[in-house]
Structure formats: structure tokens, C-alpha cells
Structure 1
Amino acid sequence: MRRNVNTIDKLHYITHPLPDYPIAQQVEDVCRGGCSWVQLRMKEARTEERLAEALRILPRIRHYGATLIINDDVYAAKAADADGVHLGADDMHPSEARHLLGAGKIIGCTANTLDDVLRLSQYDIDYIGVGPFRFTSTKEKLSPVLGGEGIHRIVAAARIHGVRIPIIAIGGITPENIGGLLNTGIHGVAVSGAIHAAMDKATACEAIIAQLNTHHPSPITHHPSLTTNHQKNERHTKNS
């Protein structure tokens, strides 16, 4: 059961473990600033640790009427009764995650190429995070950086292929980048450092939300689509 595009927020805040800035405080600050979508990311944690943190922040999430997504860990998401899960390339298969979580939960996946987007769009998922836009120090094992041009080409080609799943740009995004990224046809952005590095986190969050809500994207030009591996194989077969 794929959700309506309007139920996927335009701003996704991704938590980051920081010694002097607890995740619970991060959640409080961004929710106070109007963010209603929080992704709990604890890359090196065990399921028990993620679950404990999820249960710690869930009352604040619910207080603000926000959405809680757990990064990587379907079991923690299910045990905490979070709103959903975000899956990386090396995480559980989205079909298995859907079976475990049920139809009512949100499932997002990460993509780095057009092939990734086309493959993932076949499954019962709700959004796709495409990136990284640029280098980011908040994520380890970074995939090849796409830049605005790369994201534009993937989004345009995906639309030509009939993909209508909301696409969220991820990776090293700052407020200065958002206007240009919205012109690529993305639905929204995922940020971390752009908010937690700001002096006033709530105000920074408010400013990004205002930018997302008031920006009027330029018409999308149909860039030449990225050649998928499937298309390459077809051409090879015809020419051999």
C-alpha cells in the first residue's frame, strides 16, 4: 500500500551521535522548529541500543505529532512501534521488511544510481533517498557523490521510466543548496549537519521548512537519461 506523495514530508532530519548534543535534545530542537520527520540513525549501535533510544525519544516525537523512522534496523522499528524504517543497500530486502512491518508502516530506501531507483520502485516502498549530493562527514562508507547534476539526471530519467515514488535528496545538503536541488524534481531533502551545526537549531529548521514550502521549482528539463545496466545489456545483445 504505497502512500500518497503528500504524506511524505519534505524535510527529513537525520540524527547523529554527538558527545555534547544528545539525540533526545536534537529531536526536541528540530521538532520545536517545525520538523515533523525524524530518522534515528545510530550506525554502530546494536538493535537493543537503537530500541532503547527510540523508546526514549518516542514520547517527544508523539507530543509534536511527528514521524519516527529508524535507520537500518527493521527489528528495532517493529519493537518500538516506530512509524517505519529506512533501508540502505546492505540492509534487509524491502519485501522482507514489508512482510515484518505490515502495510501500515513507512519504508524508505537509499539509491545511488538510476538502476537502483528502477529496481527499488518495483517494491512496496514509500520513498527513495537519492545521493549523496556531496561529501558528508556524518555518513561512513559513502557512495559515489552525485552532485546536483547527477541527481537531476536520475530524477528526470526515473520519471521518464514512470517512477512516481517521492525522491528525497540526501548527503551534505545545506540551505544554500536546497533551491537548486528542488529544481531537479526531488520531493524534499534529508539533512543532519545543516541543522545540528547551527547555533539556533530550531530557527535553522524553521528556515529550511520555509524554503521548502515557498520555493517554486523551474520546469524540469528532460536530461538524457542515465543508461541503466539493463539497457546496456540489451544493446550488447543487439550488437553481438
Structure 2
Amino acid sequence: MKISNLHYITTTAAAAELACRGGVRWVQLRVKNLPAAEWRQRALDAQAVCRHHGATLILNDNPALAREIGADGVHLGKQDMPPAEARALLGPGFLIGGTANTFADIEGLVAAGVDYVGLGPFRFTTTKEKLSPILGLASYTEILGQCRAAGFTVPIIGIGGVGLADVPALRATGLHGVAVSGAIGGAADPRAAARLFVGELIANQVVETI
């Protein structure tokens, strides 16, 4: 399955619906500290939205639930289940993404066979707890250069406080795409914001080296 160049991270199906109406075709449902039954219902609701719009649904840190409902995959943070363990649980038919903050992190994720890497944070963001050190554009450039030198082909997604105006410079580093949350979900018109991101990413297509 092709990895989208625009990942939308949200906590609700309602927000996913608005983003998908604006052209988003990859939704990561990030739910923390909720009872299992409520987590499952949110996942089912988001799955219904994604199926209606032909979008990919990724569950954050819940391989067992992804397998149970038939989601498209999971995204695993650095403190979550190891990707190799998730792959053993899920099998080859599910997408597995992992979080990285350094080139060494990416090396480990590539060795574990992830399908994509979320590299960040680009800048400070309030949508994630226990934030890793801020990277900024210079670190993205350095790390993506190391990835090219190592021959890595895994798609790498920039994440963490990414705004619309950041897309051209981030794509120029060799990133496959970006992941956003507040820049779409917190906009006055999330559907319009999603359309702008989709258009900006199309306008800034680059030769994929990562």
C-alpha cells in the first residue's frame, strides 16, 4: 500500500470526516488514556469514515485493536510495542510505522522492517506529550542526507508543529511528506485547510530519494 504524503492525526471520527472531505486520505487515530471499549468505538467510527472516503486508517499504539477491527495498520512510538513484535502479531498485511528523532532511531526502524518513519518533532507542539528534542530544518537536512548515504528507501514523514508554509522547505530536504494535526483540526475551516495542504504537497512534488 502506498504511503501518503499527508498524514492527518486526530482523536475523533468527526474531525477525520472534515479532513477527508478536504482530500486527506491517511488518518492516524491517536487515543490515549481511554477505556478499551471507548477506544474501540472511536476506532470503529473512524474506520467507517475512512472506508467511505477511501482513506487509510492507522491506529496509534494499539496493534491488538488494529488486528481485531481490520484497520490498515499501526503507528508505534518509541515507548510502544517494538515494531518486530507488532509485525509478529499482525503479519505482513498491516502497515507499521515508527517514530524517530535521530538517524540511529531510523536505522533501528529500518532493520525492524517498518513501512514508514515519522521523524520529528520539527518544532514545539502541544499535541504530543513527552516531546523529543526539536529537530528544525537543519537536522532534517542532515538526517535525510545520512539516510540517502545509507541507501534507505523507507518513506520518512516530517511531524511536529508543521504548518502549511513549512511544506516547501521540508519537502526539499527529501522528506516523503508531512504529518499534521492542529494545522488542519484546529483551523476555522478544517476542510479548506486540508485542501490547502493537499494542493501544497502536489505543488512541491520532488523526485523521491527517501
Q: Same fold by TM (over 0.5)?
A: yes
1:50 is aligned, of 39, 51, 62, to: 39
Tell me what 2:148 maps to. 159
**SS in structure 1 opposite 2:112?**
coil
Tell me what 1:28 maps to. 17
Tell me what 1:14 maps to. 9
1:64 is aligned, of 47, 50, 53, to: 53
Q: Deviations over 1:28-52 (max 9, x none)?
A: 1011001010000012224433222
Q: TM-score of the superposition, structure 1-length normalised?
A: 0.83
The yes-or-no answer on 1:172 pairing with 2:167 is no
**SS in structure 1 opposite 2:117?**
strand
1:199 is aligned, of 181, 188, 200, to: 188
**SS in structure 1 opposite 2:157?**
strand
Identity, in percent, stands at 47
CA distance in 1, matches of 2:194, 2:141: 25
What letter matches 2:158 in structure 1? Answer: A
CA distance in 1, matches of 2:98, 2:115: 8
Q: Deviations over 1:121-164 (max 9, x none)?
A: 11221000000000000001000000011111111101101111
**SS in structure 1 opposite 2:111?**
coil
What letter matches 2:164 in structure 1? Answer: P
CA distance in 2, matches of 1:97, 1:91: 10
CA RMSD, 1 decimal: 1.6
Following superposition, the deviation at residue 215 of structure 1 comes to: 1.0
Moved over 4 A (4+): 216-220
Q: Which has the larger radius of gyration?
A: 1
CA contact (8 A) 1:47 1:76 kept: no
Greater shift, 118-127 or 62-71, is seen at 118-127
Unpaired runs of 5+ residues, structure 2, are none
CA distance in 2, matches of 1:64, 1:211: 21
Number of equivalences: 209
Unpaired runs of 5+ residues, structure 1, are 17-22, 221-240
Tell me what 2:88 maps to. 99
